[in-house]
Amino acid sequence: MVPAPLLHKLINRIALYDDPIAYKEIFVQYHARLVNFSQSITGSKESSEEVVSDVFLKIWTMRANLPRIENFHLYIYIITKNLSINRVLQQKKEKVFSLDDAVVDLKSIYLDPEQLLITAEMYKKLRLAVDGLPPKCRLIFKLVKEDGLKYREVAELLGLSLKTIENQMTIALKKLGQSVSFDLSKKALN
Amino acid sequence: MSENRYWQLLAKKLSGEASAEELTELEKLVRDHPELAYSSEHLTDIWQLQTKPADPYDAELAFELHLHKLKASGAGFPDIDPPVTVQEPETSRKRINRRLVLSFALAAALIASYAWYSTTGGSNPPAIARNVSEVSTRLGSRSRLVLPDSTIVYLNAGSRLTYNEQYGISNRATTLSGEAFFDVRESKIPFTIKTASVSIKVLGTAFNVKSYPNEKTTETSLVRGKVEITLEKRSGQKFILRPNEKLVVANEPEPEGSAERTERRSPIVLISELTHLEDNTIAETSWVENKLVFQDESFEDIARRLERWYGVAIRFEHEGLKKERLTGTFTNENIREALAELQLATSFQFTINSNSITITQ
């Protein structure tokens, strides 16, 4: 995640000086996570790569107005969402896109024996719990955990109420928490 | 207790959304229900797991593709901003210099971000006055650049070279952190390089300087010509190197506390011959030809070079392995292949997790 003061500086460099290096820096910092987010909507890596390129094209064409955007981090996710949905609607010729169709891959949950003091077996349960979360819930969890968005930002991005975000986060934590505490009870019995 | 309340508070705490009251409430819940502590700890660990960093190369590649689109859109994407800005020249001689400086500026810019295409569009980047130009390479990448006086510099991974706007006009002063090979153009203006521990002065020559902040020594290897090296931290003691010699200076740690202590840590200096390999390449400068060569070096030192070369982080699980001494040459191998080749020489296991590598027995 780009620290806010640095992001602010980079945006000013783009807006005031057309600085291509600052532009590239933002591209490199956001590219992977935006492709990932877009992919949860389009379901295709290729489409998402194109969407993200369009997002940055837009960022460049509107660069003079960038400093006026209050929350760039949220803003770039919103453009990505809109362009991704447009793309799905074009391709599938459907009228609406539902969050329940999101395909979300949580990239930050993996077995790292260095950082996670859990057994491979417990990890399997954790992974099952992650995969078992409903798509919308998983998407919200991912946006908060991996993309560093606040609850209210996720609410705005997805057009949901703050209460829904809170509830979905509670469900996610409960499911994951239960998957890792199950082992304890078993161990305690042994 | 409402169990849901616990999960709700924990979620808020991890997301940084919890108020002070909520944090206190959560603490109390966990205190009253010790059985919750276990899952709470695990979830905290899980929450702190970061997404594995994306391969920076992928982003570079994506940016290249993106530039095609940007160009095609006619959005007027500027040429790279020249890192050097020269004051308006008056005399014709200066004008020539300016051209040279600008052409270098382009070269330097290409190097500073190698994936850039220069657009042919007419938009002019705004001139931002900068007195010092800096060229740097990321870990895992190397660059070649030509300075305004036609001096050629190869910059190894994770290195930084700076010079000022008067370079080639009134001075040829550079500073270096990292490793570079210089082929210095002959000129009456002395060419100087300052590193953290030595200063090098030359008139026309080819040599290699290795001065990474995280290495124990600074090495100057001379291929041809003559250089004079001054040890900054040893009251200006001077050494003159002849071709095929290298000077190794132990890097001094930052002085801490008493002067007496720093006195004892004055640099240890060693002059030795360059290492010639069977195929006539010189080990010390082989990286210029995209070869990673090591001759009877400890695994620990090799790991540090692999880290820079491939832009990875290497961790040893067993201290003993660090001391293993190895010899080898890599040219086109990727990190996995390189490690696999090292496995032939000494027995160890490795796991690659994105950009971090763990070496185990």
Q: What is the mean pLDDT of chain B?
A: 75
Cβ pair B77:A60 closer than 8 A = yes
Does the CB of A27 have a partner CB in chain B at under 8 Å? yes
* Most A CBs within 10 Å, among B46, B80, B85, to test the A interface: B46
The predicted model scores a pTM of 0.50
Does the CB of A119 have a partner CB in chain B at under 8 Å? no
Query: What are the residue ranges of helices labelled H in chain B?
Result: 3-15, 20-32, 35-48, 56-72, 92-112, 259-264, 299-310, 319-322, 335-345
pLDDT at B38: 79
| Of B45 and A144, more confident | A144
What does the pLDDT look like over B84-110, one tens digit per residue?
333 333 333 333 343 334 333 333 333
Cβ pair B46:A28 closer than 8 A = no
* Most B CBs within 10 Å, among A173, A179, A181, A189, to test the B interface: A173
- In this complex, which of A20, A117, A150 lies closest to B17 when CB atoms are compared? A150
Does the CB of A184 have a partner CB in chain B at under 8 Å? yes
pLDDT at A143: 93
Alpha-carbon distance B117 to A74, whole Å? Answer: 30
Question: Of the candidates B85, B86, B134, which has an alpha carbon nearest to the alpha carbon of residue B113?
Answer: B134
Contacts of A183 (CB under 8 A, 6+ apart): A118, A119, A121, A122, A125
Cβ pair A116:B42 closer than 8 A = yes
Residue of chain A minimizing CA distance to B65: A53
> In chain A, what residues touch B42 (CB-CB under 8 Å)?
116-118, 177, 180-181
B196 and B213 Cβ atoms separated by less than 8 Å: yes
pLDDT at B234: 66
Cβ pair B49:A115 closer than 8 A = yes
H-helix or E-strand spanning residue B270 = strand B269-273
What does the pLDDT look like over B303-357, one tens digit per residue?
988 888 888 889 998 888 888 888 888 887 888 888 888 888 888 899 988 888 9
pLDDT at B360 over 50: yes
pLDDT at B4 over 80: yes
**Treating both helix axes as pointing N-terminal to C-terminal, what angle do A162-189 and A151-158 enclose, rounded to 10 degrees?**
120
| Of A52 and B171, more confident | A52
Does the CB of A190 have a partner CB in chain B at under 8 Å? no
Does the CB of A126 have a partner CB in chain B at under 8 Å? yes
pLDDT at A54: 94
- In this complex, which of A32, A150, A180 lies closest to B39 when CB atoms are compared? A180
pLDDT at B111 over 60: no
Query: What are the residue ranges of helices labelled H in B33-182?
Result: 35-48, 56-72, 92-112
Cβ pair A116:B45 closer than 8 A = yes
Query: What separation in angstroms does the CA of B310 have from each of A179, B129, B176, B293, B324?
Result: 38, 34, 21, 14, 21
Q: How far is A180 from chain B (nearest CA, A)?
A: 6
Cβ pair A181:B39 closer than 8 A = yes
pLDDT at B27 over 80: yes
Residues of chain A short of pLDDT 70, as ranges, are 93-96, 111-117, 182-190
Q: How far is B66 from chain A (nearest CA, A)?
A: 6
Q: How far is B67 from chain A (nearest CA, A)?
A: 9
Does the CB of A53 have a partner CB in chain B at under 8 Å? yes
Cβ pair A24:B113 closer than 8 A = yes
pLDDT at B309: 86
pLDDT at B33: 83
pLDDT at B267: 53
H-helix or E-strand spanning residue B315 = strand B313-316
- Calculated CA dihedral for residues B155, B157, B158, B163, nearest 10 degrees: 10
pLDDT band at B23 (very low <50, low <70, confident <90, very high): very high
> In chain B, what residues touch A107 (CB-CB under 8 Å)?
51-52
Residue of chain A minimizing CA distance to B123: A18
Query: What separation in angstroms does the CA of A16 have from each of A8, A62, B117, B332?
Result: 12, 12, 22, 42
Q: Predicted ipTM?
A: 0.85
